[in-house]
Structure 1
Amino acid sequence: MNRFSLAHKTLRLLAAQVNLNGTFRHLCSFKNTNLPLIFVLEVERVSSATLFTITTGAEKHSLTVYDPDKDTHLVLADFIESIANGRMDTAEPATPRVGAESIERGQLLDADQQEQLHRLARQGGVLLLDVGLQEPVCLAVHRTRSRTGITAILATGDSCPRTQCFTAYGDDQHSVKRLLQSLDHLVASAAPAALAA
């Protein structure tokens, strides 16, 4: 059985979003599979409480946190994981969450995504990455034959698409570095102001 757990980048987004009013769309994957979980988070803040509404498919769940503190995003993450894992009706307690302090701030990709990016640079192919934007980022990499290197196309967005294309010559490490730089620039240009907070 695959247990759903939120990625560290989603936790960082939640940490920013619990301090805002608004609606945020998330696309996450189940651990060890590519099955997506799409949910919409609505945040309504008042002076002494914050109301979170999670909508996924036809289901709608609400959580009110009184006197929010710096760990409110962890409470919200446990709530979302409980919904995804089907524990809401059984009232089974969530497993304790390990703090994300070990992840350096500002890191765009988690360890699994970094490994996928390294594999993509070595072998070529196509990869969809969820980096917290409205739509995932699509990366297409072609290994060059005449010289060691890659040609890459990165794209995100349907209504207002943003793309980047480049060719980088060098070893796999240099190729991954260029992919990460290009991904950072693409995300910075496409990220809404609310997600950048």
Structure 2
Amino acid sequence: MNRFTLADKTLRLLAAQVNLNGTFNHVCRPQNTNQPLTFELQVERGSPETVFTVIMGHEKHSLMVHAPNKDTHLVVADFIESIVNGRMDTAEPATPRVSAESVERGQLLDAKQQEQLRQLVRNGGSLLLDIGFDEDVRVAVHRTLSRKGITAIIVAGNTCPRTQCFTAYGDEQHSVDRLLQSLNHLAASVVPAALAA
């Protein structure tokens, strides 16, 4: 099954639409396929709660949110992704989203991704990281031979890429910390633009 995540553009639209009444149409593309996915979002705002109905083909799913707040669009987005990815019956938790607060707290990567970075520092090579943006972040590491350290290139995005390139000398832990710091800075520069809607 293809893993489906909503694009930043769709999240920005949802952020505005959860505060309105009406029916909204969306077209999204799941990862690893060119077939678009269309769904309809119906919003019925009430005084104590708001009802969100997601219609995909012949399926209809409803979500009632009591006391909507500024993060309601993220709840709706997780609900939509759960439907598309088939987690509604299994109650599998959704992947945590990247937010400005998580970037500031340094929780950008999960344990598996941090271990992948550690292996990259040890052996060199390249890696694709999914940290919650529309596109993966590419990391390339070259091990320096003259002294302990790495040269790294980090690229986020394809259409308007943001790039960081640096050389860090020191032990493995210092190199990993420097990579994490650069990833956090790159994410912090991308996230505010995505959350500005």
| TM-score, L = length of structure 1 | 0.62
Residues 1:114 and 1:151: Cα distance change in structure 2 (over 3 Å): same
1:43 shift after superposition: 6.9
1:122 shift after superposition: 1.1
Residues 1:20 and 1:141: Cα distance change in structure 2 (over 3 Å): same
The aligned residue for residue 21 of structure 1 is 16
User: How many equivalent pairs are there?
Assistant: 172
Residues 1:152 and 1:20: Cα distance change in structure 2 (over 3 Å): same
The aligned residue for residue 20 of structure 2 is none
Asked if structure 1 preserves the Cα contact closer than 8 Å seen for 2:41 and 2:55, the reply is no
Residues 1:181 and 1:40: Cα distance change in structure 2 (over 3 Å): farther
1:81 shift after superposition: 3.7
Structure 2 letter corresponding to 1:20: A
Unaligned runs of 5+ in 1: 29-34
Structure with the greater alpha carbon radius of gyration? 2
The aligned residue for residue 91 of structure 2 is 95
The aligned residue for residue 64 of structure 2 is 66
Asked if structure 2 preserves the Cα contact closer than 8 Å seen for 1:18 and 1:43, the reply is no
Structure 1 letter corresponding to 2:160: C
Unaligned runs of 5+ in 2: 18-25
Secondary structure in 2 matching 1:188 = helix
| TM-score, L = length of structure 2 | 0.62
Tell me how far apart the structure 2 counterparts of residues 195 and 41 of structure 1 sit (CA, whole Å): 23
Residues 1:163 and 1:96: Cα distance change in structure 2 (over 3 Å): closer
Secondary structure in 1 matching 2:15 = coil
The aligned residue for residue 81 of structure 2 is 80
1:118 shift after superposition: 1.0
Tell me how far apart the structure 1 counterparts of residues 102 and 172 of structure 2 sit (CA, whole Å): 25
Asked if structure 2 preserves the Cα contact closer than 8 Å seen for 1:43 and 1:50, the reply is no
CA RMSD, Structure 1 to Structure 2 (Å): 4.6
Tell me how far apart the structure 2 counterparts of residues 62 and 21 of structure 1 sit (CA, whole Å): 22
Alignment of 1:8-157 (within 5 A): 20-21=15-16, 47-48=45-46, 49=50, 51=52, 63-68=61-66, 77=78, 80-85=81-86, 93-95=89-91, 97=93, 105-106=102-103, 107-157=107-157
Asked if structure 1 preserves the Cα contact closer than 8 Å seen for 2:149 and 2:169, the reply is yes
1:118-176 per-residue CA deviation (whole Å, 9 max, x = no partner) reads 11111111111111222211100001000011000001122221100000011110001
Residues 1:171 and 1:97: Cα distance change in structure 2 (over 3 Å): same
Secondary structure in 2 matching 1:21 = helix
Asked if structure 2 preserves the Cα contact closer than 8 Å seen for 1:20 and 1:43, the reply is no
